[in-house]
Structure 1
Amino acid sequence: MLEITDTWIDSLAPNSAAIKNGKDLNKKGKYIELHQSEDEQVLFGLCAGSGKNPYAAPSADFVTPDKPVMRCSCPSRQFPCKHVLGLLYAYAEGKPFTTAPVPEDLAAKREKAEKREEKKAKETATGAAVNKPKKVNKAALKKKIMAQLEGLDLLERLTNSLIRRGLGTLDAKDLKTIQEHVKQMKSHYLSGAQIQLRKLQLILSDGKDQEKAYSLAAEQLAVVHAFIKKGRAHLNVRLEDPELALDHESSIEEWLGHAWQLSELKEAGLVLPETELVQLSFHSCDDVSRQEFADRGYWMNLHNGEVYYTVQYRPYKAAKLMREEDSFFEVATVPELYLYPGELNRRVRYESMAARAITEQDITHIRKAAAKSYAEVAKKVKNQLKNPLSDPHPVVLLYAEKIVTDAEGKLFMADLQGDTLELRDILEDGTIHLLKFLQENNLREVAVLGMFNHDSHSGRLTVQPLSIVNKQELLRLIY
């Protein structure tokens, strides 16, 4: 049987309410029966409702440990429902599960599922299920690319007009024009342009500090200009390619609005087998420019020390219907890890995972993976930031010989060579003020997960600490 923990169960829940309701069912003793199959692969039971008869028959089938099948007879549209979650919480708590035959209806469903899996395995073995390239309607794709090029031309005319007029002369009418262009970008299949234009509008609409707003707007216009230039060049290259192939190396496809499918990533060889991940930090934010909530986690690959990120976007209109991601405090063992095209921090996804507790050996691996030379890291970060379309806030795991305060009260972290990086808040959720509460063992000879920011005025790199790893544990400053 898979090791089942509260953290792992929480990661399955559709929302926090389901977690609370599932735990309440367990605490209140609502489970009339708790059973497991003889092979210990299936958990099942009966859950009482308000009436005399049992209300729900939840079950969890672990025949495939990293991809369990959850079932319940209740009418809930949440998956897994609170009855299944409560069943799992009861098992994690150590409540007694008696050995019993699997109910006939559940056994029949299992048998059908097993036959489907056997059929898939047979097709794979005989070559019948070899992944064939997805058929592409090239005429429709060319039409889409032409529409995108037209959209980039429209975007270029708008930005040139704004620059010629001067940011200081823009008024409410110009902001309305930008908003209209945001809507037009959608019809040109340019979701990335929508986001960047909306970001520009938000900057120009902020009347608190005009000088700062103009500076940020100029930087944003430079990003839009780079997007137009690189996007147009890429689309023209695709038109010349008989296969109209996607770019699997850079992030330009996402900027142009392509949503990568796992099958596409696998076909491009962007998948790692049997990977172990530790989440080093997590935060959720309201991304107004995208009109979505973003749940972002930073993870380290225990096998190679690389730092990846996962992100889930929850559109405002659908946020209540979507499961909100949360911090994960164990090691995730992933059968197949899919990597998005990218640079320093690759975005990753996975379909299934198993969980285990973090060990002292894992902490040692994390600490050993921390970069020792700030000069080398700064060079890599600056090389990435030369590309306006790259992530402006790359995240790196750094070794800190010590974290100190100077005479002006500024905080710095120093490496073994004595080079320093100034610590400064970047995210709205600040962490710098928390450092004064840490004991000395968390300020010397530690690994620090740091988010970088480049100050365009001073030209200096600053870092916000997200997590600290001492010799015993991982301390999250934001989660």
Structure 2
Amino acid sequence: MPDITATYVDSMAPNAAAAKNGQNLVRKNSFTELSRTESGDLLFGKCAGSGKQPYVCSADFIMPDKPVFRCSCPSRQFPCKHALGLLYAYAEGRGFAVKDVPEDVAAKREKAEKREENKAKQEEGGAEAKPKKVNKSALRKKMQAQLEGLEQLEKLVLSLVRSGLATVDAKRLKELQGQVKELGNYYLPGAQNELRRLVILFGEGEVSEEGYSYLMEQLTVIHALIHKGRSHLHARMEDPELLLDPESTIDEWLGHAWQLSELKSFGRIRENAELIQLAFHSYNDLARAEYVDEGFWLDLGAGDVHRTINYRPYKAAKLMREEDSFFGVAQIPCLYVYPGGLNARVRYEEMSVRPAEAADYRDIREAARRSYAEAVKTVKQQLKTPLGDKRPVLLLHAAQVGVTADGQFTATDSEGQSLVLEDIYPLAEGTVQLLPFLPAEALSDCTLLVMFHHNPDTNRLTAQPLTVFKDEEAFRMLY
């Protein structure tokens, strides 16, 4: 069984509210029974609820890296507050009576063991999972509908440009909102999100000159999506196998949700990878109608900065686990890598954790780019691609972080090249104002994780610091 601490239990909670509710159950002494097996791989108990009968909950660690939580309550959260409360009680050192495994848990364990045995036999026999059969006729009809949707979107964009962006009033805005919904009929969730993003920009009160720049930038994205999407769909329809493009993000832009089995079939995996988190933040994506948990990680073996993304739709957010900051090193048997340029998205199904060591922070320092000229060149190359990520993140070495005479924060490399540090539009949270609170020694010969942004009005490239690394310390400015 893993070392169950309050921090470990926090990491298991689906969200902060569930963690708080679980802690409250312990404080109120709501648990009428607390038990554990002699081996310590099962915690179980009873907790008073709103009904006459207490809820029966358990935390099963027969497979330490894959704990199973069970509870008789009607909650759809896993683990629920009762299972979390059970763990918090154990972490606090509450008394747990030693008992045998309950019959219902023993039966469920037996079924799970048989499933694992069957899976192991299939793997030993070399049996591969049968690939999912694709109904090519239905897929062709779907792609044809997508082409029709892109044509409708193109007509809409041309109409907006010809009539002038300044002519979009409340009535026209309402029409655009209706067209966003209509686009959902063409199997184009990606394009639908980008059109909704445009509508949101129009709806932000009186559009300023700077606002028009961002509107034009968004129109450019939609225009590129239309043309590249159309070309890609025509090419797929000419392919007898209707294959996806594993080297481009266009399928994802059109709304395809990559399955791990698909990424594996295209060889987009890394085995036995180790990741250390560099920064983490959550934000509300109005266009997608989802909360997004985004983490930036360094692949300690390859030196690449990846990102993890967890989408939580508004309607299901309370039932889904909310990601959080992570301070250990994730040891991952199989890392799945999505198509993309800088900061490609990654996912994994299982991991183990070890503490971060001095060697890991040395790897962070060694992965940092020393020449700002080369770093800026890399970022500009990314930004030139209309469908490329507009928020590239890089690790940079800073000989010094300081303030100019006019109060502007800058980072300077060992060659004397400076980079402006300021809060950027894509991030809702500011961090630059936190730099003066860091120890003075942390701002020299250090490593910065920064997010770049190109301001279309000033035509200037700036960067916002997310984390400052000095020796074996990490000063995170986003959580």
Change (3 A) 1:206 1:17: closer
After TM superposition, the structure 1 = structure 2 runs for residues 162-181 of structure 1, keeping only pairs within 5 Å, are 162-181=160-179
Q: Deviations over 1:298-340 (max 9, x none)?
A: 2222222322112222223333343333222333333322221
Moved more, 52-61 or 18-27: 52-61
CA distance in 2, matches of 1:84, 1:338: 30
**Paired residue secondary structure (2:75):** coil
1:171 Cα deviation from its structure 2 partner: 3.1
Q: Is the 8 A contact 1:156 1:225 kept in 2?
A: yes
Q: Is the 8 A contact 1:182 1:193 kept in 2?
A: no
CA distance in 2, matches of 1:451, 1:337: 24
Q: Is the 8 A contact 2:328 2:355 kept in 1?
A: yes
After TM superposition, the structure 1 = structure 2 runs for residues 64-79 of structure 1, keeping only pairs within 5 Å, are 64-79=63-78
Does 1:7 pair with 2:20? Answer: no
Q: TM-score, normalised by structure 2?
A: 0.93
Which amino acid in 2 is paired with 1:274?
Answer: N
Q: Is the 8 A contact 1:46 1:54 kept in 2?
A: no
**Residue 431 of structure 1 aligns with which residue?**
431
1:46 Cα deviation from its structure 2 partner: 1.9
**Residue 47 of structure 1 aligns with which residue?**
46
**Residue 450 of structure 2 aligns with which residue?**
450
**Residue 440 of structure 2 aligns with which residue?**
440
Does 1:216 pair with 2:214? Answer: yes
Moved more, 466-475 or 234-243: 466-475
Change (3 A) 1:110 1:383: same
**Residue 254 of structure 1 aligns with which residue?**
252
CA distance in 2, matches of 1:32, 1:170: 63
Q: Deviations over 1:191-227 (max 9, x none)?
A: 1111111122222233334322222222211111111
CA distance in 1, matches of 2:406, 2:60: 60
Q: Is the 8 A contact 2:47 2:56 kept in 1?
A: no
Change (3 A) 1:116 1:389: same
Pairwise CA RMSD of aligned residues? 2.3
CA distance in 2, matches of 1:346, 1:207: 34
CA distance in 2, matches of 1:381, 1:398: 12
Moved more, 173-182 or 94-103: 94-103
CA distance in 2, matches of 1:75, 1:455: 50
CA distance in 2, matches of 1:59, 1:448: 43
**Residue 190 of structure 2 aligns with which residue?**
192
Change (3 A) 1:269 1:36: farther
Q: Deviations over 1:268-317 (max 9, x none)?
A: 22222233222222222221222222221222222223221122222233
1:104 Cα deviation from its structure 2 partner: 2.7
CA distance in 2, matches of 1:265, 1:93: 42
CA distance in 2, matches of 1:278, 1:349: 14
**Paired residue secondary structure (1:278):** strand
Change (3 A) 1:74 1:201: closer
For residue 137 of structure 1, the aligned residue among 119, 135, 138 is: 135
Does 1:341 pair with 2:377? Answer: no
Q: Is the 8 A contact 2:45 2:58 kept in 1?
A: no
Q: Deviations over 1:346-369 (max 9, x none)?
A: 112222333333333332322222
Moved more, 341-350 or 45-54: 45-54
Q: Is the 8 A contact 2:19 2:81 kept in 1?
A: yes
**Paired residue secondary structure (2:398):** strand
1:228 Cα deviation from its structure 2 partner: 0.8
Unaligned runs of 5+ in 2: none
Sequence identity of aligned pairs in percent?
Answer: 55
Change (3 A) 1:336 1:95: farther
Q: Deviations over 1:365-407 (max 9, x none)?
A: 2222222221221111111111111110111111111101111
**Residue 205 of structure 2 aligns with which residue?**
207
1:50 Cα deviation from its structure 2 partner: 6.5
**Residue 89 of structure 1 aligns with which residue?**
88
Q: Is the 8 A contact 1:65 1:354 kept in 2?
A: no
Change (3 A) 1:219 1:110: same
CA distance in 2, matches of 1:29, 1:228: 59
CA distance in 2, matches of 1:477, 1:380: 24
1:424 Cα deviation from its structure 2 partner: 0.9
Unaligned runs of 5+ in 1: none
CA distance in 1, matches of 2:299, 2:4: 22
Q: Is the 8 A contact 2:15 2:318 kept in 1?
A: no
**Residue 268 of structure 1 aligns with which residue?**
266
**Paired residue secondary structure (1:58):** strand
**Residue 229 of structure 1 aligns with which residue?**
227
Q: Is the 8 A contact 1:7 1:329 kept in 2?
A: no
After TM superposition, the structure 1 = structure 2 runs for residues 265-304 of structure 1, keeping only pairs within 5 Å, are 265-304=263-302
1:152 Cα deviation from its structure 2 partner: 0.9
**Residue 308 of structure 2 aligns with which residue?**
310
Moved more, 98-107 or 221-230: 98-107
Q: Is the 8 A contact 1:454 1:461 kept in 2?
A: yes
CA distance in 2, matches of 1:200, 1:52: 49
Does 1:62 pair with 2:50? Answer: no
CA distance in 2, matches of 1:246, 1:416: 44
**Residue 23 of structure 1 aligns with which residue?**
23
1:11 Cα deviation from its structure 2 partner: 2.3
Q: Is the 8 A contact 1:36 1:98 kept in 2?
A: yes
Q: Deviations over 1:419-470 (max 9, x none)?
A: 1110010112100111111111221111111000112344332110011111
**Paired residue secondary structure (1:467):** strand
1:95 Cα deviation from its structure 2 partner: 4.8
1:54 Cα deviation from its structure 2 partner: 8.2
**Paired residue secondary structure (2:54):** strand
Q: Deviations over 1:160-211 (max 9, x none)?
A: 1222222233333432332232112110111111111112222223333432
Moved more, 260-269 or 331-340: 331-340
**Paired residue secondary structure (1:275):** strand
CA distance in 1, matches of 2:201, 2:82: 47
CA distance in 1, matches of 2:187, 2:50: 53
